Structures are given as C-alpha cells and as structure tokens.
Chain A
Amino acid sequence: MLHVNAVSKTFLGGQPVHALREVSLQVAAGETVALVGPSGSGKTTLLRLIACHLTPDSGDLTVDGQRVPRPSTAAGAAFRRRMVGVLLQDLGLIEMDTALANVMLPLRLAGVGRRDAARRAHLQLQKRGLDHRSDAPVNTLSGGQRQRVALARALVCEPPLVLADEPTSNLDADQASQAVSDLLAQAREHRAVLIATHDPEVWTRCDRVLHLDDGRITPHG
C-alpha cells in the first residue's frame, strides 16, 4: 500500500536541518505500523511527506500505486482528499465550527453536496458514539471527543492510508486506549495505518515498529 524509497529531506534555513536521510519503508494494506523515535528524529516530516504536505528532496513515495504528487498542485490536493486520512498532532479542528461541520469539510472540499456530506459525516460520528454531539461546537467537546471528531474527519473520505501524529499525546489513559483501538480497527477495513508516537501503549499494540533516529530508520532497540 505505502512504499517509501530512499527519501531525503533537508530544511534550509540559517542552519540546514537534515530531517530525513534516505529513508525507506513499506506498509501493507491491513497493517498497522508504529514510527517511534525521539523528538526531532524526523517522524512528523516523514508523515508530512507521505501526506503530500511537503516535497522530498530525493526519493520516491507511492500510495496504493500512485506516486505522491507535488503538494502545491491540483493533483496534490486530490491526493490529500482521496488517498490519505491524516490525524494531525494538534488535531487541526476548526474550533468554532460544529463537530459535524468539521467532519463534513473534506467532503465539501471534494465537491460532495451538502446533504450527502452531512449524511456521511453523521455516519462517521455515529460510529464513534458522537452523533448526539454533532451540532456542538468543537471547543465545547472534551479531549477524547475532539480526538474522535478528528479521526472521523480523517476517515470520512474512506482513504486507503491513515496517518496519525502522536494521537494520544493529549489524552488520559482511558481516552488514549479508546483512541488507539479506534485507529487500529481501521486496519480491519483493509487500510494501512502509520502512527508516529512516543507512547509504548500505542506501539506495543501495532503489528510492526520502525525506529527513526536522526533521520534514519534504525533497528528498534
């Protein structure tokens, strides 16, 4: 499903930062993979490259046989809508919008009509036990509820690949456990799931763990 082949990325600035150095990995459909490593090891950069938020300096990335396009193009936008569901580290919810409006957003951007988008978004919220809060502004929801709204939004377009960046960082133990279960359940629907995390409760439940250190994949110690 996901193929990353010798991908490198350097951020140029006052001091160039070599975020990734020839990283290669593969994630199969139905597989859950944890990406672990210290802060600054390149986890978020790798997820952003796969999610078509950044362009690699070199190397290839493909998702479901489709090469990841340049982010600033229309093809890049279409890729982000159809191929990947992203759970951002800070969730990236529109705070003053309702839960339903947040989940509808990717569908509306894809040109789905309001009524159909609302029906599909409602279904996603219902799956996560949030249908009773669908009209509540996101800033009135608890941390766990917000996390579930963000996951509903990531999945509403039914992407083949799900990316999650530190999905449990702001949750208590119970909420974290529920969130991880919800994420891992996506593999049963034949999706590939890649999770960047520091949390042992997360990576011990994944099928495979990849360790990233100083921009390189290293054997997990």
Chain B
Amino acid sequence: MSALVFALGTGLKDAWRVGARGVLAAVHVAVAALLLGLSAGLAVQSAADLAAAQRLVEARAVSFVVGNPPAQDADVTQLRAAVAGVLAGERGCAVIRSGNGDVLVFGASAASEIASRGGYLDPWWGFTPTPAGSLSPRSPASVAQLDTVAFVDLAARMVLLDPTPDALRSYLQALRQVTDAEPRLVADKIRWDFRSEYQGRVAFLTVFALGMLTTLSTTLSAFSHLLRSNKRGVIVAWALGASPLQVGARWVGFIAAVWSLPALALSFLGLQLVSGGYYAPVVLPWVATVITALTLAGAWWGSRWALADVALESLREQEV
C-alpha cells in the first residue's frame, strides 16, 4: 500500500515538475472546466424551468394582474376565506413572490412537486430559479396572521392551479373587493415571455459550447505534451520495477493533478455562479464521475502508451 501511495505521490510530483507546460495545461483545464460547469448548470437550470413551466401550463394555472394597493381599512374577510379555500383545496396551490422574499405556500401536493423541481414561474418576473434553502414554506395558519396589506399582496400574487370556473369567479370576486385585479392564464405569460428568454439561453449556450470546444481541443493538445514530458519518468520507474498497478497509480496522480483537481474546483464554481448554489450538489457528482472516468481512462491509456514505447524505442534507435 505504501508503495502505491508513493507512486500516486510521485505522479503529483511529476505534474509539479513539468513546470510551465503544467501551468499552461492547468489554465486550459480550468477555463474548460469553468465553461463546462457554466454550460452544464445553465442547461440543467433551463430544463428545470421548462419542466416547471410545463406543469403550470398543464395545470391551466391562473395568475392575476393587480392595480392599486388596497386601503388599510379594507375588509378582507371574504378574501381570507377564498385564500383559505385555495390552500385547503386538494388541487389548488399558490406560488408566491412576496415583498419580503420568496415564499412558497404549500396548498397541495402539486405545489410541493413543482417546488421540488427547484424553480418556479414567477408570473411577473419570468422564470425564477429558486434556491430551495431560501424558500420559507408557510402554513395556512401563518398566512391567516398576516396584516391586511401583506395579506392582499400575497393573495394577489397567488397562482391557482387547475381552478374550476366557480372557484376562479369566487376568488376574483373576493380580490376585486379590495383592489383592481384581472386574471391571466399563466400559459399566455409563458408564451409571451419565454420565447425571447429561450432564444437568449440557446444563443448563450451555443457561444459557451463553441468556446468550450475550442478550449477543450487546446487543453487536449497541452495535455498530450504533458504526457510526453512525463513518459520518460514513467518508463524509467517501470524499468526499475514499478508494477503495473504502481505505473497506473503514478499516472492517476499525474493526471489528477493537471486535470481533475482544477476541473472539479472550477466546475463547482461555474455551477455555483449559474444556479446560486442550488444545482451544484445535484450536478457535481455527475461531473465528478465523468472526470474520474476520464482520469482513469487517461491513466490506463497513458500507461499502455508509455510502456508500448519501450519496444518501439529499440527500433527507433536501431540499437536492436
């Protein structure tokens, strides 16, 4: 085991020793990883937004456009009853953006299912990725304790899922007693807003993907130079009795140092930048798995390539 650890450590040391080329490759790896992380984060985020939007469309969700703020002394008795009815309903839910931050009111399983997808549609501000940790679920009881202004604000921002005509009429009537309000199908809002949003994201991802491909090809080229730099040391170690396992460990250490560590760190950073921290823990294991697979494949390939050269060198030197 100690010999294996030694071989792994030697690989790390090899990476350090290759100096300028190592730094160059690490910079390329870092940029590629950052682009990869940002692209992956954005792609996952977009998929989640689309799924959330799709659910709202399928649920024939209705939101409201509100005019004037309510008077302080407005009677909200009927509105409280209407909100309580929505929250208690099996198929009704409310996804709300309040003045104090994002608030999700759990009214039914459908709401929590949408919330679990990690984002929700804010009918006023478009798609809003929502870090799960910042959501404050509120019970109907806590909603009942809000003062008049806060309560009306909340009620006006509710989204009704799959409402019956009677339920919608009743809710709208209660809302109009305290403020101007017009119902809107969320699907319309999505159609109006999402087209430009979608086009923007596709353009953004395309530019990122092109940048990533360019950087990745340069990275692979730098990586190939690095392998050549390191090959001699590996062959010498092999000739002195390093076992196949030790040679593999040495390559793993080497490749991990110039490839995986910066890639992991910067993928994480990229995901954090895009998702505000929410998607990093979700996507990172996949990124880590891919990088680990790349590292092991690189180590295997590097070992075979280096050792196969022992025989070829004999021919090249014509010292047969």
CB distance from A15 to the nearest CB of B (A): 10
CB distance from B245 to the nearest CB of A (A): 7
Interface residues on B, range: 20 to 34
In the complex, the answer to whether A53 meets B17 with C-beta atoms within 8 Å is no
In the complex, the answer to whether A48 meets B314 with C-beta atoms within 8 Å is yes
Does A25 sit within 8 A of B, measured CB to CB? no
Does A129 sit within 8 A of B, measured CB to CB? no
Contacts of A39 in B (CB 8 A): 318-319
Does A36 sit within 8 A of B, measured CB to CB? no
A84 to B319, CA, bound (A): 21
A145 to B161, CA, bound (A): 84
Of B17, B244, B311, B317, the residue contacting A54 (CB under 8 A) is: B311
Does A86 sit within 8 A of B, measured CB to CB? yes
Determine which residue in B233, B237, B318, B320 has the highest number of CB atoms from chain A within 10 A of its CB, and name it: B320
Of A27-35, A71-79, A177-185, A200-208, the one touching chain B: A71-79
In the complex, the answer to whether A110 meets B3 with C-beta atoms within 8 Å is yes
Does B297 sit within 8 A of A, measured CB to CB? no
Does B62 sit within 8 A of A, measured CB to CB? no
Does B20 sit within 8 A of A, measured CB to CB? no
Does B124 sit within 8 A of A, measured CB to CB? no
Determine which residue in B236, B241, B246 has the highest number of CB atoms from chain A within 10 A of its CB, and name it: B241
In the complex, the answer to whether B320 meets A42 with C-beta atoms within 8 Å is yes
Contacts of A215 in B (CB 8 A): 320
In the complex, the answer to whether A11 meets B245 with C-beta atoms within 8 Å is no
CB distance from B320 to the nearest CB of A (A): 4
Contacts of B236 in A (CB 8 A): 88, 92-94, 105
Of A11, A96, A106, the residue contacting B241 (CB under 8 A) is: A106
A-B contact pairs, 29 of them (CB 8 A): A11-B311, A11-B320, A17-B315, A19-B320, A39-B318, A39-B319, A43-B319, A44-B319, A45-B314, A48-B314, A53-B310, A54-B311, A77-B241, A77-B243, A77-B246, A78-B241, A80-B241, A82-B241, A94-B233, A94-B236, A105-B236, A106-B240, A109-B3, A109-B237, A109-B243, A109-B246, A111-B2, A111-B3, A113-B2
Residues of chain B having any CB pair with chain A under 8 Å: 2-3, 6-7, 17, 232-233, 235-246, 307, 310-311, 314-315, 317-320
Q: A39-B319, A44-B319, A86-B239 are in contact. List 12 more A-B contacts (CB 8 A).
A: A13-B315, A17-B315, A19-B320, A45-B320, A48-B310, A74-B243, A81-B240, A88-B236, A92-B232, A106-B241, A108-B3, A109-B237
User: Which A-B residue pairs are the 6 nearest by beta carbons?
Assistant: A81-B241, A77-B243, A19-B320, A80-B241, A111-B3, A92-B236
